[in-house]
C-alpha cells in the first residue's frame, strides 16, 4: 500500500512528468503519423520490394555467411541473418520500418539535447519520417535503411555530450565501422569524421578511441575477406567501380597507360551513365577473360592513372553528376531507373535469376512478386507526389548547414561534412544514384537545424549581451 508520504511525493512529481511529456507533444504526433504511414505501406505492397537482384544476393549471403567477392560487404547480411529464424521478408521490412522511425527519433533527441525547442527539432526529422522515398526504401530488402541508421546513430553518439567520453568515442567509431561494413562508402566517411574531430581539437585519447574502434572491425573483416579471396581488402569491386567512373572522360592519348592497362581504354561503347559501364557487355573491361571482378586491381590502377592525368575532366564529371541531386524534377540517371514516385498499381513478378529459387528454399519459401493492394496503395500513389523533397530544397538545406559550419564550426561542421561526403562520395567513386542521395537528407537536416539554432542564438546574444553561449561541439576536453 502507498503511504501518505509516498502519495505526496508522487503528486509533486506528476506535474513535472506531464510537463515533460507535453514538451514533446508535437513530435509525438509526428511520430504517430509516421508510424501510420509505415503500416499503410506494409498493407499496400506485399510482401516486399524483392525485384532488386541485390536483394537476393544479400539473402543468400545471410544464409551462407562469407564475404562477397564483389560489391556487398557483410554488414547487411548479418542483420538479415539475425532475422533468419522468422523465415519472412515481411519481418525484414517491418524491422526496417521501425529502424526508419528510430532514426527520426535520434535526430529529434539530439536536437533537443542541443537545446532546440520541440517545434524546432521536429521539422528536422520530417523528411526521413514522411518522404515517400524512405517508405519505399524501408520496404525493400536493401542495405540503405540500415546504413542511414548507423550513420545517424554514430553522429548522435559523437555529438550527444559537449564533453565526449572515451567510451562514447569508441561506440561512435564502432558504429561508423558497422556503417562501412554495410556500405563501403562509409570508409572515407570515417576518415572525414576523424579529420573534423581533429580540427575541433577533440583530444588525442578520444580521437584515438574513434580511430581504433573504427579500424579494428574493418581490419578483421579484411582479414576474413583475404582468407576467402586472397586479398586483404573490404571489397573486390572498388577498382571496377572507379574504372567505370573514368570511362566518361578517359583519353588514353593523354593517359598513356602501359600495355597491360591499355586493354581497359574506352573502346567506343557508349552508355548513358558511368555506372552502366560496369555491366555493359561491350565495355573493354568486360571483354577480358575471367570476368570483370578478377581484374579489379588492374582496373583500379588504370583509374588512378586516368584521374592523375585528367584531374579537371574527372572533377567536371563529378560536379556534373552531383548536380543532378538539385533538379526540381527528378532525372532518371541512368535512364532505365525510376528516380522517384515509384509507388504504382500492379504486380511485379520476381526476376528470372537462378539465385532466387535457392533463396526461396533456404530463407523464405513464401517469397513472391510484389503486388499492390487497394485502397492502401492508392493512398500512397497520391501521397508520394507532395511528399518528396525537391532538389532545390535539398540545396537550401545544405547551404544553411554550410553557413552554420563556417560561423559556428562546433555546431554544424561535423554533420554538414558527413552530409557532403555522403553526397559527393558515391559520385566520385562510381556514379550518381537517387538512392545514394537519401542518406544525405537526414544528416543535412540535422546540420541545418543546428546551424539555424546557432545563428539565431548568435543574433540573440548580439541583441542581449551576457546570455550563455551554446557550448556545442563533440568535445571541449583535451586528451
Residues 6+ apart with CB under 8 A from 13: none
**Which pLDDT value is given to residue 351?**
81
Contacts 24+ apart (CB under 8 A), 325-328: 325/391, 325/394, 325/423, 325/432, 325/434, 325/437, 325/440, 326/391, 326/392, 326/394, 326/395, 327/391, 328/390, 328/391, 328/392
Domain-wise residue ranges, the chain:
24-236+327-463, 238-318
Sheet containing 370-372: which strands, arranged edge to edge? 45-46, 370-372, 347-348
Question: Which residue has 510482401 as its cell numbers?
Answer: 47
Measured at the CA of 186, the angle between CA 152 and CA 318, to 5 degrees, comes to: 110
Query: 70 near 293, Cβ under 8 Å?
Result: yes
Please list the pLDDT of the chain residue by residue as tens digits (479 residues).
445 555 455 445 544 444 455 678 899 999 999 999 999 999 999 998 876 778 999 999 999 998 887 778 999 999 999 999 999 999 999 999 999 999 999 999 999 998 899 888 999 999 999 999 999 999 999 999 999 999 999 999 999 988 889 999 999 999 999 999 999 998 899 999 999 999 888 888 999 999 999 999 999 999 999 998 888 888 888 999 999 999 999 999 999 999 999 999 999 999 999 999 999 999 999 999 988 889 999 999 999 999 999 999 999 999 999 999 999 999 999 888 888 888 999 998 888 777 888 999 999 998 998 999 999 999 999 999 999 999 999 999 999 999 988 876 677 899 999 999 999 999 999 999 999 999 999 999 999 999 988 888 777 777 665 444 444 445 443 33
Q: What is the pLDDT of residue 21?
A: 58
For residue 341, the model assigns a pLDDT of 84
Quickly count: other Cβ atoms within 10 Å of residue 89's Cβ.
25
Residues in the chain: 479
The answer to whether the CB of 189 falls within 8 A of the CB of 210 is: no
Rounded CA-CA distance 445/400 in Å is: 9
CB-based contact 429:186 (threshold 8 Å): no
- Which has the closest alpha carbon to 447: 476, 392, 407? 407
Amino acid at each position: 500500500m502507498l503511504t501518505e508520504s509516498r502519495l505526496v511525493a508522487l503528486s509533486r512529481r506528476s506535474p513535472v512528468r506531464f510537463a515533460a511529456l507535453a514538451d514533446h507533444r508535437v513530435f509525438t504526433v509526428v511520430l504517430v503519423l509516421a508510424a501510420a504511414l509505415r503500416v499503410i505501406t506494409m498493407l499496400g505492397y506485399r510482401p516486399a520490394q524483392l525485384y532488386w537482384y541485390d536483394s537476393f544476393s544479400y539473402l543468400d549471403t545471410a544464409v551462407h555467411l562469407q564475404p562477397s567477392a564483389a560489391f556487398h560487404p557483410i554488414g547487411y547480411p548479418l542483420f538479415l541473418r539475425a532475422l533468419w529464424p522468422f523465415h519472412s521478408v515481411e519481418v525484414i521490412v517491418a524491422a526496417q520500418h521501425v529502424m526508419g522511425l528510430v532514426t527520426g527519433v535520434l535526430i529529434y533527441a539530439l536536437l533537443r539535447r542541443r537545446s532546440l525547442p520541440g517545434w524546432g527539432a521536429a521539422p528536422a526529422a520530417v523528411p526521413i519520417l514522411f518522404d515517400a522515398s524512405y517508405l519505399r526504401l524501408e520496404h525493400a530488402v536493401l542495405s540503405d535503411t540500415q546504413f542511414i541508421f548507423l550513420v545517424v546513430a554514430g553522429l548522435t553518439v559523437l555529438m550527444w555530450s559537449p564533453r565526449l567520453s572515451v567510451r562514447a568515442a569508441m561506440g561512435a567509431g564502432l558504429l561508423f565501422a558497422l556503417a562501412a561494413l554495410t556500405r563501403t562508402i562509409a570508409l572515407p566517411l570515417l576518415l572525414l569524421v576523424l579529420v573534423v574531430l581533429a580540427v575541433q581539437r577533440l583530444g588525442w585519447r578520444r580521437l584515438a578511441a574513434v580511430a581504433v574502434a573504427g579500424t579494428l572491425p574493418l581490419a578483421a573483416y579484411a582479414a576474413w575477406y583475404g582468407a576467402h579471396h586472397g586479398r586483404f581488402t573490404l571489397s573486390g569491386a572498388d577498382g571496377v567501380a572507379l574504372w567505370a567512373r573514368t570511362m566518361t572522360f578517359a583519353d588514353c592519348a593523354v593517359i598513356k597507360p602501359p600495355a597491360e592497362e591499355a586493354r581497359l581504354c574506352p573502346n567506343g561503347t557508349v552508355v548513358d551513365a558511368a555506372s552502366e559501364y560496369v555491366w555493359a557487355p561491350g565495355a573493354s573491361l568486360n571483354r577480358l577473360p575471367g570476368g570483370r571482378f578478377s581484374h579489379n586491381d588492374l582496373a583500379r590502377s588504370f583509374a588512378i592513372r586516368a584521374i592523375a592525368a585528367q584531374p579537371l575532366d574527372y572533377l567536371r564529371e563529378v560536379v556534373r553528376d552531383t548536380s543532378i541531386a538539385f533538379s526540381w524534377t527528378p532525372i532518371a540517371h541512368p535512364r532505365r531507373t525510376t528516380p522517384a514516385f515509384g509507388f504504382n498499381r500492379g504486380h511485379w513478378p520476381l526476376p528470372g535469376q537462378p539465385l532466387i529459387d535457392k533463396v526461396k528454399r533456404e530463407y523464405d519459401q513464401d517469397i513472391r512478386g510484389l503486388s499492390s493492394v487497394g485502397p492502401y496503395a492508392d493512398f500512397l500513389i497520391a501521397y508520394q507526389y507532395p511528399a518528396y523533397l525537391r532538389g532545390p530544397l535539398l540545396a537550401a538545406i545544405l547551404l544553411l548547414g554550410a553557413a552554420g559550419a563556417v560561423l559556428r564550426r562546433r555546431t554544424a561542421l561535423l554533420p554538414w561534412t558527413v552530409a557532403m561526403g555522403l553526397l559527393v562520395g558515391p559520385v566520385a567513386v562510381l556514379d550518381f544514384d537517387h538512392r545514394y542521395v537519401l542518406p544525405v537528407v537526414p544528416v543535412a537536416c540535422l546540420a541545418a537545424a543546428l546551424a539555424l539554432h546557432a545563428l539565431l542564438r548568435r543574433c540573440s546574444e548580439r541583441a542581449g549581451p551576457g546570455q550563455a553561449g551554446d557550448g556545442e561541439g563533440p568535445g571541449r576536453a583535451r586528451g
